[in-house]
Amino acid sequence: MNLEASSSSSDTPQEPKARGIVSSNELAGRGSAQGGSRLSESEFAGLIGRVRPALAIVATAVLGDRVEADDVVQEASVIGLASLDRFTPGTSFEGWMAQIVRNVARNALRKRARNPARATGGDALINHAARSGHAAGAPAVSGDGSVPNPAHFDVEVQRALQNLDETSRVCLLLRTVGEMSYAQIAAITELNENTAMSHVFRSRRAMREFLTSGSGNFERGGGR
């Protein structure tokens, strides 16, 4: 993950090129062309295939587990297909589906909380580190920018991410992992672009502080 840690450069990065994610403008145009008619199952299948990478990132941001996130996206897709009457063509399809994904992922988190032994991915990594006594202590990133212990760094990145609020994690991962523009992040999260940008910038700053301090503490939120 690129946290853009340089303190000498501007905190306003250039917009990256998106990777195969459908734009909200394109979806709106499609809906207008249909005259507001209900999406067909084949149209839904085409759209879900294009936004699936973004939905997987959203689910991962909520869960901290990519494998479980794939299952969540699959379940959300089934729910979305069965709920096409609730989608209004011309509105943000990716935003609509992302909200379904987040709801399904939150349900999965509640189930996980009832059975902590089944924790996987980021939660399992952190739990193992805590049992081993390596979840906190020395900074994950040295003053010269080096990473003395990659395993410790991975744990600390997971801890730092989980200390962000959910929306901040979603925005940050869509930007850094999905390489999406702020317009695309806004469409998926149903935020305005400036708010999405604020979440990303503050989350990066919080992550940098966490990884370089070694204190294991920073104010939860990151994007508020």
- 71-91 pLDDT, tens digit per residue, is 999 999 999 999 999 998 889
Residue 10 has pLDDT above 70, yes or no: no
What lies within 8 Å, CB to CB, of 141 at 6+ separation is 5, 147, 153, 211, 212
* Residue for token pair 């459908």: 22
What helix, strand, coil percent values describe the chain, rounded to 5? 65, 0, 35
| Residue-level pLDDT at 135 | 44
pLDDT: is 128 or 205 the higher one?
Answer: 205
For 19-47, the pLDDT digits (tens) are 445 544 454 444 433 445 788 999 999 99
pLDDT at 90: 86
Start-to-end CA distance of the chain, whole Å, equals: 21
Q: Which domains does the chain have, with CATH numbers?
A: 19-115 (1.10.1740.10), 119-224 (1.10.10.10)
Q: What is the mean pLDDT of the chain?
A: 74
Q: Which residues contact 194 (CB under 8 A, 6 or more apart)?
A: none
Q: Which helix (H) or strand (E) holds 66?
A: helix 66-82
Residue bearing the bigger pLDDT, 214 or 165: 165
* Tokens coding 21: 């994610």
Nearest to 58 by CA among 192, 139, 224, 171: 171
Lowest-confidence pick of 65-74, 77-86, 123-132, 162-171: 123-132
Residue type, 24: S
d(CA 106, CA 72) in angstroms, rounded, equals 10
- CA–CA separation, 105 vs 38, rounded Å? 26
User: What mean pLDDT is predicted for residues 94-105?
Assistant: 97
The model's pTM: 0.70
Cα(53)–Cα(165) distance, rounded to whole angstroms?
Answer: 21
Q: What is the mean pLDDT of residues 131-156?
A: 47
Q: How confident is the model at residue 66 (pLDDT cuts 50, 70, 90)?
A: confident
Residue 12 has pLDDT above 90, yes or no: no
For residue 9 the two structure tokens come to 């450069």
CB atoms within 10 A of CB 84: 14
Closest alpha carbon to 160 in 140, 144, 177, 142:
140
Q: What are phi and psi of 12, to 5 degrees?
A: -115, 95
pLDDT of residue 207: 86
Question: What is the predicted pLDDT for the residue at 21?
Answer: 53
Band of pLDDT at residue 211, cut at 50, 70 and 90: confident
pLDDT tens digit string along 166-209? 999 999 999 999 999 999 999 999 999 999 999 999 999 998 88
| pLDDT at residue number 120 | 54
